[in-house]
Chain A
Amino acid sequence: MVNFREKAVALIVDDDEEMRHIVEHYVDRMGYETCTAVSAEAALEMIEAAQPHLLITDALMPRTDGRELCKQIKLRYPRVKVVVMTSLYKAARYKSEAYRVFHADGYITKPIDFAELRNVLQRLVPVHQGHPAGERQ
């Protein structure tokens, strides 16, 4: 029997406290259930418990960066949709790499345009009632 959750779950990963806070705020307002992690390592530790449908990660983080996290998540949990965030300055270099090498499902630039983020998230995991909690592998 599949356990349905009322909301899709988004795990937000960023080492910057202010960025985590504002992304969590807006993603919550978009209708997703949110949880946060301060690093790629913390995200990997909590993913089994959180069972996210979406993972939104910063690209540039200490130790394991967001692109490597994306690659690991897509290998182990291919149904989790991953959105990579990076600065506009780095975008030209990172965008194609994020899709091609790290298999990201979406890509947004910082500073974040929340209308753009909403469009990306809605395309990947539309907000509606009844998301199977075990949707990831």
Chain B
Amino acid sequence: MITAASLRERFVSGLGRRIPDLIELLDSLEIDSTTVDPVMRAFHSLAGIGGTYGFPDVTTLARQAEVRCDEWIRSGVAPVAGDVNELRDIVERLATIHRLL
């Protein structure tokens, strides 16, 4: 039987899995600045599920990153190292939320 507790557990476990994936995607983005699309998709998914599972702070942070990626894609301007660090800060804040859950 699915309960609120099991849904929460599923979200927390999923978030724990996504954080190293995001770090890996940002490592790739730093090497190849044309790989913004998978990074945006990853943050997009997280923005969608955060609030859906009752964690609006996760949505807020993930959406900030999604918006930045979308700006780069739409403007055609590749991100530089400082831009990637901005996303790394967001991932670190997500990791902090995960540790506190």
Is the Cβ of A16 less than 8 Å from the Cβ of B48?
yes
Given known contacts A19-B52, A25-B2, is B63 in contact with A89 (CB within 8 Å)? yes
Query: Contacting A17 at CB < 8 Å: which of B7, B14, B47?
Result: B14
Q: Does A87 lie at the interface of the complex (its beta carbon under 8 Å from any beta carbon of B)?
A: yes
**Min CB gap B59→A, angstroms:** 5
Within 8 A of B (CB), among A75-116: 85, 87-89, 110-112
The majority secondary structure among interface residues of chain A is mixed
Query: Contacting A110 at CB < 8 Å: which of B7, B41, B48, B70?
Result: B48
Is the Cβ of A22 less than 8 Å from the Cβ of B48?
no
6 interchain residue pairs of minimum CB distance: A111-B51, A110-B48, A111-B52, A18-B14, A16-B45, A112-B52
Interface of B with A (CB < 8 Å)? 2, 7, 10-11, 14, 41, 44-45, 47-53, 56, 59, 63, 66-67, 70
Interface of A with B (CB < 8 Å)? 15-19, 21-22, 25, 58, 60, 62, 85, 87-89, 110-112
